[in-house]
């Protein structure tokens, strides 16, 4: 895959997830969205750890070297996604699927500062991802 297509893939994926997160935060369902996303990422990560199909696909798409079997460092995304899902699920059980206080705060004027911080963080992540896609190679 050429670097321009990789950049478009990365940025469109990031924009879609950013839009879903902002929409769910405004509606008061951010924890519900994050718990679902964490569970999906955990299942995908577990399937990738067992078979390596997603890693091989991304290596082929981005032109990276393919992984060499199971390693302990491949478990890190599993633990991170499980942590995200667990924490968010605890918050869903605590506040319910729709957090009315969050919804009221977002409608009351907290959405714009929150969205500005989230968009700034997404731009930083997007810039790093674009840099890694455009300039592949060995990193220290």
What is the distance between the alpha carbons of residues 94 and 122, in angstroms, rounded to a whole number?
A: 28
What is the distance between the alpha carbons of residues 1 and 63, in angstroms, rounded to a whole number?
A: 7
What is the distance between the alpha carbons of residues 32 and 35, in angstroms, rounded to a whole number?
A: 5
Instruction: Look up the pTM and report it.
Output: 0.75
Q: Which helix (H) or strand (E) holds 116?
A: helix 111-134
Helix (H, G, I), strand (E, B) or coil at 67: coil
Written as tens digits, the pLDDT of the chain (140 aa) is 676 777 788 889 889 999 999 999 999 999 999 999 999 999 988 888 888 777 777 777 666 666 666 677 778 888 999 999 999 999 999 999 998 999 999 999 999 999 999 999 999 998 888 887 777 665 55
What is the distance between the alpha carbons of residues 24 and 106, in angstroms, rounded to a whole number?
A: 11
Q: Which residues contact 93 (CB under 8 A, 6 or more apart)?
A: none
pLDDT score of 119: 94
């Amino acid at each position: 895959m050429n670097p321009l297509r990789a950049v478009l893939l990365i940025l469109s994926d990031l924009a879609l997830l950013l839009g879903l997160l902002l929409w769910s935060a405004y509606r008061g369902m951010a924890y519900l969205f994050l718990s679902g996303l964490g569970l999906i990422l955990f299942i995908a990560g577990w399937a990738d750890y067992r078979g390596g199909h997603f890693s091989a696909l991304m290596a082929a798409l981005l032109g990276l070297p393919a992984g060499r079997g199971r390693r302990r460092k491949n478990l890190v995304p599993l633990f991170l996604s499980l942590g995200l899902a667990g924490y968010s699920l605890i918050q869903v059980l605590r506040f319910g699927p729709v957090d009315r206080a969050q919804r009221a705060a977002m409608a009351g004027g907290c959405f714009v500062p929150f969205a500005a911080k989230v968009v700034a963080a997404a731009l930083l992540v997007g810039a790093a991802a674009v840099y890694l896609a455009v300039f592949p190679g060995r990193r220290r």
